[in-house]
C-alpha cells in the first residue's frame, strides 16, 4: 500500500483526489493499492493512520478538512505522515517556491515527492543538486516531476533513462507550451486570416491561457521547462541566464490589468502580421520553441521560423512536441 499525502488541494489537487477515488474502485487497485492519508491546504490539515474513506474523499472539503480539522502546519504534517507505516509520497500540487524548498527536508525523512511544481527544478541550482543527492540511492526516497514538462508526455522519464544508460544528450528542441502551441498553430499557417489579438482572445476564452495572457506570452513558463530539461540532461542551465524572447509588445508589459492588455493588443496586430507574412513568404511558419543545446551553449527560448515540412509546422491544437 502506498500512502499519499496531498499538499494544496486546489484545481490540480482536487482532480488528483478524484482520480485516486476512481482508482480505488478500479480493477488496477489490487495490483497498485494507493491510500490517501493526508490533505493540507493553506488553512487546515488532516492526517489519518488509516486511509480516508472514499465517501469522505468525495466530500473532502467538509468531511476531511471540515470544522474538526487541525490548523495547517506543514512541519507537523510532514512529521506525522513520515511516521506512518509503509512508503509515503507527498504530492505537492502547488506552484509555491516556499513549499518546493521543503523537498530536501521531506526526502531526508524518507518521504517520496511527486509534483507538477517546477520551482524546485528550475530555480536555484543548489536546491536542484540537493534533491538529486538525496534521491541517488535505489533504496532511498524518490522524486518524480514528470508533469513539470511535456503536458503528460513521458519526456523526463525518457531523458532520465538516456542519461542513466550513458547517452550524451546533444540537443533537445520542442514546443512546450500548450498555450503558445495553440496560438501559433492557428495564427501562423498557410491560408489563415485571423488576427493575432483575435487568436489570443479565443485562446483566453477557451481556457488555454493564464488569466493574464502575458504570463504565457513572456516565455517564462517555457524557460522553466527548458531549464529543467537541461539540468536533467546534465547541463547547468539557469533561468537567469537563459535567453528568453518575450513576445509581449514592450508598450504593454507594464499595463496594470489583463483587461487593458487585451484591449490594447489589437494595436500590435500589424507587427505580428508582418512577422507571419515574412515567414510564410519564405515557406515557413512561426513557432515558439524551447531548445537545450549545452554542447554549443546555444540554449534558448524564442519565436522561430520552421519550414512547412518540419514536424513543428504540422502540429495541431494545443499539443506539445519534442
Catalytic residue positions, numbered? 225
User: Edge-to-edge strands of the sheet including 172-174?
Assistant: 172-174, 284-292, 300-307
DSSP secondary structure letter of residue 265: G
- Per the rule left: phi > 0, alpha: psi between -120 and 50, beta: everything else, 181 is alpha
DSSP secondary structure letter of residue 259: H
DSSP secondary structure letter of residue 321: B
Residue with cell 473532502: 60
Closest C-alpha among 73, 76, 148, 78 to residue 108: 78
Q: How far apart are CA 313 and CA 273, in angstroms?
A: 17
DSSP secondary structure letter of residue 251: G
Alpha-carbon dihedral of residues 81, 84, 86, 88, nearest 10 degrees?
A: 0
Residue with cell 484591449: 263
Grid coordinates given for 80: 506525522
State the CB neighbour count (10 A cutoff) for residue 289.
Answer: 25
Q: Is 302 helix (H, G, I), strand (E, B) or coil?
A: strand
DSSP string covering 30-79: GTS-EEEEEEE-SSEEEE-SSPPPHHHHHTHHHHTSSTTSEEP-HHHHHH
* Contact indicator for 230, 292 with CB cutoff of 8 Å: yes
Amino acid at each position: 500500500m502506498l500512502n499519499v499525502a496531498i499538499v494544496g488541494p486546489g484545481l490540480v489537487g482536487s482532480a488528483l483526489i478524484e482520480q485516486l477515488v476512481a482508482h480505488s474502485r478500479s480493477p488496477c487497485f489490487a495490483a497498485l493499492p494507493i491510500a490517501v492519508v493526508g490533505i493540507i491546504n493553506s488553512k487546515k490539515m488532516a492526517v489519518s493512520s488509516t486511509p480516508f474513506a472514499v465517501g469522505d474523499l468525495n466530500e473532502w472539503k467538509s468531511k476531511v478538512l471540515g470544522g474538526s480539522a487541525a490548523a495547517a502546519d506543514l512541519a507537523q504534517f510532514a512529521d506525522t505522515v513520515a511516521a506512518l507505516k509503509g512508503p509515503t509520497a507527498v504530492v505537492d500540487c502547488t506552484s509555491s517556491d516556499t513549499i518546493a524548498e521543503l523537498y530536501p527536508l521531506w526526502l531526508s525523512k524518507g518521504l517520496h515527492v511527486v509534483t507538477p511544481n517546477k520551482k524546485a527544478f528550475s530555480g536555484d541550482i543548489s536546491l536542484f543538486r540537493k534533491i538529486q543527492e538525496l534521491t541517488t540511492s535505489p533504496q532511498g526516497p524518490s522524486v518524480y516531476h514528470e508533469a513539470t514538462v511535456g503536458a503528460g508526455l513521458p519526456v523526463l522519464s525518457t531523458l532520465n533513462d538516456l542519461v542513466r544508460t550513458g547517452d550524451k544528450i546533444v540537443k533537445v528542441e520542442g514546443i512546450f507550451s500548450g498555450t503558445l502551441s495553440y496560438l501559433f498553430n492557428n495564427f501562423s499557417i498557410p491560408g489563415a486570416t485571423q488576427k493575432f489579438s483575435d487568436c489570443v482572445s479565443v485562446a483566453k476564452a477557451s481556457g488555454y491561457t493564464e488569466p493574464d495572457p502575458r504570463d504565457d506570452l513572456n516565455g517564462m513558463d517555457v524557460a522553466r521547462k527548458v531549464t529543467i530539461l537541461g539540468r536533467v540532461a546534465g547541463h547547468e542551465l539557469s533561468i537567469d541566464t537563459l535567453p528568453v524572447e518575450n513576445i509581449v509588445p514592450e508598450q504593454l508589459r507594464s499595463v496594470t490589468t489583463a483587461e487593458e492588455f487585451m484591449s490594447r493588443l489589437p494595436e500590435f496586430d500589424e507587427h505580428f502580421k508582418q512577422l507571419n507574412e515574412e515567414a510564410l513568404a519564405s515557406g515557413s511558419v512561426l513557432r515558439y520553441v524551447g531548445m537545450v543545446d549545452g554542447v554549443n551553449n546555444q540554449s534558448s527560448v524564442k519565436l522561430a521560423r520552421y519550414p512547412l515540412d518540419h514536424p513543428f509546422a504540422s502540429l495541431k491544437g494545443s499539443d506539445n512536441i519534442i
